[in-house]
Structure 1
Amino acid sequence: MAILGLLGGMSWESTAHYYAQINRLVRDARGGLHSAPILLHSVDFAAIAALQRSGDWAQAAQILGQAAQGLAAAGAGALVICTNTMHKVAAPIAEAAGIPLLHIVDPTIAALQAAGVGRVALLGTRFTMEDDFYRARLVAAGFEVCVPAAAARDDIHRVIFDELCQGRVLAASRDRYLDIIAALRDDGAEAVIMGCTEIAMLLDGVSAALPLFDTTALHAAAAAAWLLNDGAD
């Protein structure tokens, strides 16, 4: 089987879900004691988060590009960036690695298309919701994309960094997210992209006003499929 490179740690809370889900899918498909051949480089998220706050995306891309380069040198045949936000610099990271990148938005697009969704709401960090790198890929695929109001975006971002990335899952924050989703439904959204890899920690198994598309689970499934296909496109 081919070897998959995971660029993780952003945060390690969600990277652990990637590792578990990919291995579970490979085991279920192959049976017995089979597991996923994975190389993981887990960065110190504090350094990356500081660069995000300061807007130094070039330096963040350089750090992650070097890590991805190391994964490729160690034998990884494809790269998974285990975070939505850092796909803002996916292109230079993939260029540094020199191996195919399994982009997180692509399996999400496929799932939305299969479900017949037209207008989708995007939840994530402030960078994901407000910058164009994520929405542009969705719009190019034919979706109308909406985001919550400014105050709601502030709350979503705060919960991600101050709670979920630190392993704290609070009922009050879950209720706030559900209220935001209900407002998005009232605004005409047909579904919600959980466009931060930690959001599933808060909303997994919860009944929401709209269908939820979990980018972590979808990305992990695409990664497992790549492995099960022995790295073939």
Structure 2
Amino acid sequence: MKKTIGILGGISLASTIQYYKKITDLYYEQYNDYYYPEIRINSLDFQHFTDLENEHRTEEYIDYIAKGIHALEKSGAEFVIMGANSPHSVFNEVVNKINVPMISIVESTAKRATELKLDKVLLTGIKYTMQSNFYQEVFKKYNIDVITPNETHQDEINSIIFDELVINIVSDQTRKRMLDIIQSYDVEGVILGCTELPLLIAQNICPIPVLDTLSLHAKAALDFSLNKE
């Protein structure tokens, strides 16, 4: 019996759409039928969510996320995923406020990095994520070093995400610039630590291993739904 998936989305719209597509595509690739797991999506107010992050209103942030997940619980979700990297900065705090299992995007990514035998990786994402330490804390358990871009590159990546990707603007010029930034660091792999970044960067165009957090998270969710975790 498949478990009903709950996606806390809207953070942003662009990646929420990709989560839905990725989970259903992965299912069809494996089974070649249409018995998809049921999915509930609760789309948050992206600007309010981002304001809470940027203003470091942590308690309100946690409560807003938990409230969104409670709505998913009431709708029948049997477990949840947060469709973004940044709210995983308060993953443990949120877990303590909800009543269903929640799958971590960071753990899913760390497990893949371990499979690839990576020792040092670059974390890209919004500034909130790059300037937090939740990725470093989880990856340390796997003996993997996580470094972040310099401040200038952080500003640039943050701008790419908020000014382009979250509103589905994807350009070859920006893609080239992002690849140039990645290749300027001495690392063995790169974490696409924002669920919009896979719209821009894929393994077939990057010379080092790409940790596509959205795809890894979606696969973990599907596996859990199908009792394959």
**TM-score, with structure 1 as normaliser:** 0.93
Structure 1 segment 70-149 matched on structure 2, within 5 A: 70-149=71-150
Name the residue aligned to 2:6: 5
Return the alpha-carbon distance in structure 2 between the equivalents of residues 126 and 51 of structure 1: 14
Distance apart, 1:81 and its partner CA: 0.4
Q: Does 1:222 align with 2:220?
A: yes
Contact 1:9-1:15 within 8 A present in 2 as well: yes
Q: Is the 8 A contact 1:24 1:35 kept in 2?
A: no
1:26–1:228 CA contact under 8 A, matched in 2: no
Q: Find the aligned partners of 2:160 and 2:59 in 1 and give their Cα distance.
A: 26
**1:213 equivalent in structure 2:** 211
Query: What is the TM-score normalised by the length of structure 2?
Result: 0.94
Residues 178-225 of structure 1: CA distance to partner in whole angstroms, max 9, x if unpaired?
A: 1111111xx3x1010111100000113552232211000000000011
Amino acid at match of 1:181: I
Give deviations 1:67-116, integer Å, cap 9, x for gaps: 10121122211110000011112223222221111000112111111111
For 1:112, give the aligned amino acid.
Answer: A
* Residues 203, 210 of structure 2: 8 Å contact kept: no
Q: Percent identity?
A: 30
Kept in 1, the 8 Å contact 2:3–2:37? The answer is no
Q: How does 1:134-173 map to 2 (within 5 A)?
A: 134-173=135-174
Structure 2 letter corresponding to 1:111: R
Does the aligned pair in 2 maintain the 1:178–1:209 contact within 8 Å? no
1:188-203 to 2 correspondences below 5 Å? 189-203=187-201
Paired residue total: 228
* Separation in structure 2 between the aligned mates of residue 43 and residue 222 of structure 1, nearest angstrom: 22
Using the alignment, how far apart are the partners of 1:50 and 1:191 within structure 2?
31
CA contact (8 A) 1:13 1:165 kept: yes
Distance 1:193 1:204 in 2: 11
> What pairs with 1:1-40 in structure 2 (closer than 5 Å)?
1-40=2-41
Structure 1 unmatched ranges of 5 or more:
none
Deviation of 1:138 (Å): 1.0
Q: What is the alpha-carbon distance in structure 1 between the residues aligned to residue 116 and residue 96 of structure 2? A: 33
How far apart, in 2, do the equivalents of 1:34 and 1:142 lie? 39
- Give the RMSD, CA atoms, in angstroms: 1.5
Whole-Å separation in 1 of the counterparts to 2:30 and 2:183: 37
Moved over 3 A (4+): none
Counterpart residue identity of residue 153, structure 2:
A
Cα distance in structure 1, aligned partners of 2:75 and 2:92? 20
